[in-house]
A and B are shown apart, each in its own frame.
Chain A
């Protein structure tokens, strides 16, 4: 047993400690990476909130960059992000579609009347079946699709100003549905957002 080999346990231990340390630097431990990233949005067929005769499917999400937002009236965080969604609907050209997840239709309609409706239309997912197809495990969750229907970004949790600024705005700008404002140091006013 050479002297050097007696230090092997110390080496192994330092490895273990570094794993522990790494564990800290990994934040967002409660968010799972999406299995749908860079995959096509799944096929589906569902009803629409407020329009009992209309059915929508994946085809209704193609052709334009689309943001699919999963929400429910029983979810307090959804209420918190609602104002931001209203703002996004106004600022950009992205098609905002809602998915009312495991909710009561009458309550959802009421909610949109009371707090405003940023969505072009709202898909009804009463039993959570579409949610399972999307890998949803809790509201709110938001998917960003390109014009071909591929998922380019998924957010688990609320869409707030930081997410808008760091994740959504650049991508929307890249897809041509949002014009980034000029930097504030220059004395320019914001464009019309086209």
Chain B
């Protein structure tokens, strides 16, 4: 009954999406007030029905309704409650419903700020977003219905959620990631609306910025969480594999990072308009491309959802229509400006340009590496693989170049910078960073040139930003939030660079045979194995190993487990991790060997947490940058319109 209500809600949401897109995009009548209100209420209605549908699915999970096919394949009566709820988005159909819900939430948030924008422009924005939502809803209803029933063959119990997904990671990673993916539809819709209205100007950039930065921040956090989750769950100590699904989320992120910088330039200087528009379109297009890669089965990945070429084809057609349509609109309407390049090489504009070029080239390289194997197979019939070595070879130098550009940002002005400012950083901050970096590098073993470069660049970034911050405080100048956000974000980038450089080269890994009471060394630590005992979990039984680790004066215990889940019989290893700010100790159990001994894997991973801490810093910095007063609601506009309404005697 509830599942059918869910289905009905989806259908109603789709109807409202249809009418909202029609009203928003095509109705140009003189009664703009009516137009605006009706679009807004249709958007609110989409949210209400999407939320109802989602709640219906969650309800089916929580009440163990195995007559719903999706629940039967992804849940089990023994599954703990938090995982029953998060299992809602553990498979393709349910995760797509989450995607739709988040889309409607973004639309709802937009309507709360509608007084900031001109009426017709805003209706276009809502119309575009509703059109996207309509596509998603039709996809869900016709190809990926989560509410399909298994009557009369209702199973007595479900097939259980994949043990790898029975984890906190599933609770947080998809919602935040989708908030980012889908959030990029907002700048996309702003861009399309601007093209339709033929008003691409600094005001448009200022309106887009808060939404773009927040969507970007969510995407950043979502990707970081995914990486962190893979790290502690999969047991090989790695946190990024350049897997197609990972790349599918990374490509929109690269475009969005270029976009947030480009928007800043368009807002402040009025330049780069066409380019910024293009980036705005590209961001969401890459989200859609990502959805295609993840859900169509065109590329093999351990993270991909269960595949169905029919669904993949639908997404491809949708992708083609949406992106093809918007790029055609771009070709027809974009302001064919001769870029007003009134700036010198040592200027913020030019360095933003460097940022954009590097990010777009990186994006292109990642896309090439991800899609080229398909092209190769089509042309030559052979199969190749493109993996970590290829991507790192190009990506690392590009990021180091970007780092060099980032370091100079605090001392640069718009349009032109006096040589004096540059000289001061080159003679002070850079040598000091080089010295500190060199000393740090000297303590590493094994040594590599890449690490030396990374350390120097990262330390220089920190130095220039901190020095500029200090200079401003000393001059008692104001510290606008935008400035603080920028500094925090750039320093966060440096933190991530350091984390990546150190953990990639200094990690220690040992696979050893350990019998009870054996002791082994792991880097600077000493590990003693105390043996294995049986423990019982809510829906599994496990062999739990007990290890005592000594690091200098500190001693701690780690308990990795080898679990057998009762519902499906799946075996899974859960690593025991001691998470530290400067290093992780990571132990996982292998197979039992003779004589009570076990094969054990030990990792010592210095600075690995800095990778994610850095990304949290730059996500937060990006949000701060748009929490400035000038982006907040303009009260005057609403007052004006109320007065006008009262004056003319018509109802509001």
Asked if A and B form a direct contact in the complex, defined as CB atoms under 8 angstroms apart, the reply is yes
A residues sitting closer than 8 Å to B (CB atoms) are 1-3, 6-7, 9-10, 13-14, 16-17, 19-26, 29, 32-33
Chain B nearest CB, measured from A81 CB (Å): 24
**4 other A-B residue contacts (CB within 8 Å) besides A10-B324, A23-B298, A24-B298:** A1-B274, A3-B336, A10-B331, A19-B378
Chain A nearest CB, measured from B305 CB (Å): 16
Chain A nearest CB, measured from B327 CB (Å): 4
- Report yes or no: B289 in contact with A9, Cβ–Cβ below 8 A: no
- Report yes or no: B323 in contact with A13, Cβ–Cβ below 8 A: yes
B535 contacts the other chain (Cβ, under 8 Å)?
Answer: no
B48 contacts the other chain (Cβ, under 8 Å)?
Answer: no
Contacts of A33 in B (CB 8 A): 381-383
**Known contacts A16-B367, A16-B371, A33-B383; is-contact A9 B278 (Cβ 8 Å):** yes
B377 contacts the other chain (Cβ, under 8 Å)?
Answer: yes
Q: Roughly how many angstroms separate A7 CA and B297 CA in the complex, as a whole number?
A: 30
B421 contacts the other chain (Cβ, under 8 Å)?
Answer: no
* 14 A-B pairs (CB sep. < 8 Å): A1-B274, A1-B337, A7-B331, A10-B324, A14-B324, A16-B367, A20-B374, A21-B316, A22-B374, A22-B375, A24-B298, A24-B316, A26-B378, A29-B300
Contacts of B324 in A (CB 8 A): 10, 13-14, 17
B54 contacts the other chain (Cβ, under 8 Å)?
Answer: no
Q: Roughly how many angstroms separate A21 CA and B320 CA in the complex, as a whole number?
A: 10
- Report yes or no: A10 in contact with B319, Cβ–Cβ below 8 A: no
Across the A-B interface, give the 10 residue pairs with the lowest CB-CB distance, nearest first.
Answer: A23-B298, A10-B327, A7-B331, A22-B378, A23-B374, A6-B331, A19-B371, A17-B320, A1-B336, A6-B334
Q: Roughly how many angstroms separate A2 CA and B274 CA in the complex, as a whole number?
A: 12
Contacts of A22 in B (CB 8 A): 374-375, 378
Contacts of A13 in B (CB 8 A): 285, 323-324, 327
- Report yes or no: B374 in contact with A19, Cβ–Cβ below 8 A: yes
Contacts of B358 in A (CB 8 A): none
- Report yes or no: A1 in contact with B381, Cβ–Cβ below 8 A: no
Contacts of B383 in A (CB 8 A): 32-33
Interface residues of B in 297-332 (CB under 8 A from A): 297-300, 309, 312-313, 316, 319-320, 323-324, 327-328, 330-331
Chain A nearest CB, measured from B326 CB (Å): 9
Q: Roughly how many angstroms separate A61 CA and B567 CA in the complex, as a whole number?
A: 48
B292 contacts the other chain (Cβ, under 8 Å)?
Answer: yes
Contact of B312 among A3, A9, A24 (CB under 8 A): A24
Contacts of B313 in A (CB 8 A): 24
B339 contacts the other chain (Cβ, under 8 Å)?
Answer: yes
Contacts of B328 in A (CB 8 A): 7, 10
- Report yes or no: B331 in contact with A20, Cβ–Cβ below 8 A: no
Contacts of A9 in B (CB 8 A): 278, 281-282, 327, 330-331
Contacts of B278 in A (CB 8 A): 9
Q: Roughly how many angstroms separate A32 CA and B300 CA in the complex, as a whole number?
A: 13
Chain B nearest CB, measured from A18 CB (Å): 9
Q: Roughly how many angstroms separate A23 CA and B319 CA in the complex, as a whole number?
A: 15
Residue of B nearest to A5 (CB): B336
Q: Roughly how many angstroms separate A62 CA and B337 CA in the complex, as a whole number?
A: 73
Contacts of B274 in A (CB 8 A): 1, 6
Q: Roughly how many angstroms separate A20 CA and B323 CA in the complex, as a whole number?
A: 14
Most buried by B among A16, A23, A24: A23
Q: Roughly how many angstroms separate A20 CA and B299 CA in the complex, as a whole number?
A: 10
Contact of B377 among A2, A14, A26 (CB under 8 A): A26
- Report yes or no: A17 in contact with B316, Cβ–Cβ below 8 A: yes
Chain A nearest CB, measured from B237 CB (Å): 26
- Report yes or no: A20 in contact with B292, Cβ–Cβ below 8 A: yes
Contacts of A19 in B (CB 8 A): 371, 374-375, 378
Residue-wise interface mask of B (403-432) relative to A, using a CB-CB cutoff of 8 A (1 in contact, 0 not):
000000000000000000000000000000
Contacts of A23 in B (CB 8 A): 296, 298-299, 374
Q: Roughly how many angstroms separate A25 CA and B327 CA in the complex, as a whole number?
A: 26
Q: Roughly how many angstroms separate A10 CA and B338 CA in the complex, as a whole number?
A: 20
Contact of A26 among B320, B334, B374 (CB under 8 A): B374
- Report yes or no: A1 in contact with B339, Cβ–Cβ below 8 A: yes
Contacts of B292 in A (CB 8 A): 20
- Report yes or no: A20 in contact with B316, Cβ–Cβ below 8 A: yes
Contacts of A16 in B (CB 8 A): 289, 367, 371
- Report yes or no: B338 in contact with A17, Cβ–Cβ below 8 A: no
Q: Roughly how many angstroms separate A3 CA and B274 CA in the complex, as a whole number?
A: 12
Contacts of A2 in B (CB 8 A): 336
Contacts of A14 in B (CB 8 A): 324
Q: Roughly how many angstroms separate A17 CA and B374 CA in the complex, as a whole number?
A: 12
Contacts of B375 in A (CB 8 A): 19, 22
Q: Roughly how many angstroms separate A109 CA and B375 CA in the complex, as a whole number?
A: 46
Contact of B298 among A7, A20, A32 (CB under 8 A): A20
Chain A nearest CB, measured from B184 CB (Å): 16
- Report yes or no: B319 in contact with A6, Cβ–Cβ below 8 A: no
Q: Roughly how many angstroms separate A23 CA and B281 CA in the complex, as a whole number?
A: 24
Residue-wise interface mask of B (357-374) relative to A, using a CB-CB cutoff of 8 A (1 in contact, 0 not):
000000000010001001
Q: Roughly how many angstroms separate A50 CA and B22 CA in the complex, as a whole number?
A: 76
Contacts of B282 in A (CB 8 A): 9
Contacts of A20 in B (CB 8 A): 289, 292, 296, 298, 316, 319, 371, 374
Chain A nearest CB, measured from B142 CB (Å): 18
Residue of A nearest to B307 (CB): A29
Q: Roughly how many angstroms separate A3 CA and B334 CA in the complex, as a whole number?
A: 9
Chain A nearest CB, measured from B535 CB (Å): 31
Interface residues of B in 262-285 (CB under 8 A from A): 274, 278, 281-282, 285
Chain A nearest CB, measured from B443 CB (Å): 42
Chain B nearest CB, measured from A159 CB (Å): 22
Contacts of B297 in A (CB 8 A): 29
Q: Roughly how many angstroms separate A10 CA and B324 CA in the complex, as a whole number?
A: 6
Residue of A nearest to B371 (CB): A19
Contacts of B312 in A (CB 8 A): 24
Residue-wise interface mask of B (86-126) relative to A, using a CB-CB cutoff of 8 A (1 in contact, 0 not):
00000000000000000000000000000000000000000
Q: Roughly how many angstroms separate A39 CA and B179 CA in the complex, as a whole number?
A: 53
Q: Roughly how many angstroms separate A25 CA and B336 CA in the complex, as a whole number?
A: 38
Q: Roughly how many angstroms separate A15 CA and B231 CA in the complex, as a whole number?
A: 35
Most buried by A among B300, B323, B331, B375: B331
Chain A nearest CB, measured from B207 CB (Å): 23
Contacts of B339 in A (CB 8 A): 1
Q: Roughly how many angstroms separate A29 CA and B307 CA in the complex, as a whole number?
A: 12
Residue of A nearest to B336 (CB): A1
Chain B nearest CB, measured from A50 CB (Å): 31
Chain A nearest CB, measured from B381 CB (Å): 7
Contacts of A26 in B (CB 8 A): 374, 377-378
Most buried by B among A3, A16, A26, A32: A16
- Report yes or no: A17 in contact with B336, Cβ–Cβ below 8 A: no
Interface residues of B in 539-575 (CB under 8 A from A): none
Contact of A24 among B289, B300, B309 (CB under 8 A): B309
- Report yes or no: A17 in contact with B319, Cβ–Cβ below 8 A: yes
Contacts of B330 in A (CB 8 A): 6, 9-10
